[in-house]
């Protein structure tokens, strides 16, 4: 299991992560835009939103990966979570495919008494994923990679 920092930005993830890359060095291990997502019924993204970052990962060292995405108004409305600078941070729990039961256990235990933003479920990127705010106001993500 690995715990990482996951940041949200309102449109400037790419600029922020190019800056972090210049400071820490290295290369992005993942960089996906919202326009790369498969089409979803009822979801229509503007050309501007399609260019925004859906996910970026910058390995800092062998134990730490800094990750982020841009949020948009549609996402904020869906999750009922307004974007607020200073609270745009998650702790991301990352597990491998052999730890699916552990992912479910951690999601259920940590989210008890909190509010679930995205229920734990399979995703198009080949993972079991969910997000929530715990009873103490801490935001968490659980990502268990099912496919490599």
Task: Give residue 88's pLDDT.
Answer: 74
Question: Average of pLDDT values for 5-23?
Answer: 90
Quickly tell me which residue has 């699916």 as its tokens. Answer: 100
| pTM of the predicted model over 0.85 | no
Question: Average of pLDDT values for 16-30?
Answer: 92
Give long-range contacts, CB 8 A cutoff, 24+ apart: 76-84: 79/117, 79/118, 79/131, 80/117, 81/117, 81/133, 83/8, 83/10
Per-residue pLDDT tens digits for 80-135: 666 666 667 889 999 999 899 999 999 999 999 999 999 999 999 999 999 998 88
How many domains does the chain fold into?
1
Task: Find the CATH number of the domain harbouring 66.
Answer: 3.10.180.10
Q: Please determine, for residue 77, whether its predicted confidence score (pLDDT) is greater than 60.
A: no
**Structural domain span for residue 117:** 2-145
Question: 75: pLDDT confidence band, cut at 50, 70 and 90?
Answer: low
């Amino acid at each position: 299991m690995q715990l990482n920092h996951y940041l949200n930005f309102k449109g400037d993830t790419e600029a922020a992560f190019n800056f972090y890359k210049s400071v820490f060095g290295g290369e992005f291990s993942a960089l996906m835009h919202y326009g790369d997502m498969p089409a979803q019924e009822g979801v229509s993204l503007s050309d501007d939103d399609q260019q925004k970052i859906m996910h970026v990962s910058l390995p800092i060292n062998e134990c730490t990966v800094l990750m982020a995405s841009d949020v948009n108004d549609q996402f904020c409305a869906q999750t009922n979570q307004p974007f607020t600078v200073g609270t745009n941070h998650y702790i991301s729990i990352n597990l491998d495919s052999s730890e699916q039961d552990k992912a479910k256990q951690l999601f259920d235990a940590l989210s008890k008494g909190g509010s679930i933003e995205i229920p734990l479920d399979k995703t198009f990127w080949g993972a079991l994923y969910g997000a929530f705010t715990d009873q103490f106001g801490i935001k968490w993500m659980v990502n268990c990679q099912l496919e490599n």
